[in-house]
Amino acid sequence: GQQLNQSPQSMFIQEGEDVSMNCTSSSIFNTWLWYKQDPGEGPVLLIALYKAGELTSNGRLTAQFGITRKDSFLNISASIPSDVGIYFCAGRANFGNEKLTFGTGTRLTIIP
């Protein structure tokens, strides 16, 4: 099935560094979401974006819905150990609570 292109695939950073990851699609989405998944758990929603150009923050996390509706990025500032995990973007093509198309994931590792 289709998966969105997410980059980078993995990141190795030191505690306190800022992180940036993005997600691109060949088709338009009307909703962009960012999730974090820890081992053995389901994805947990971090940020939801519903309008092209929208910039939304949740604590140290900031995400933007691209103007073209085909991309989104997520920034994490001043990373801490609990930020370790896999981050997924997800897009929804239709207005209405329907299926999500997920990205391939970015694995974040913090080097001590």
Q: Which of 59, 81, 96, 112 binds other proteins (CB under 8 A)?
A: 96
Q: How far apart are CA 13 and CA 39, in angstroms?
A: 19
Q: How far apart are CA 112 and CA 100, in angstroms?
A: 35
CB 81 within 8 A of CB 110: yes
Query: Which range touches other proteins (CB under 8 A), out of 12-20, 57-65, 73-81, 98-106?
Result: 98-106
The residue (of 1 and 112) whose beta carbon lies closer to other proteins is 1
Q: How far is CA 61 from CA 1, 97, 98, in A?
A: 29, 24, 25
Query: Which range touches other proteins (CB under 8 A), out of 11-19, 39-47, 56-64, 66-74?
Result: 39-47
> How would you classify the pairing of strands 106-111 and 10-14?
parallel
Query: Which range touches other proteins (CB under 8 A), out of 11-19, 59-67, 73-81, 100-108?
Result: 100-108
Which stretches of the chain bind other proteins, using CB under 8 A? 1, 3-4, 6, 30-31, 33, 40-45, 48, 50, 88, 90, 92, 95-105
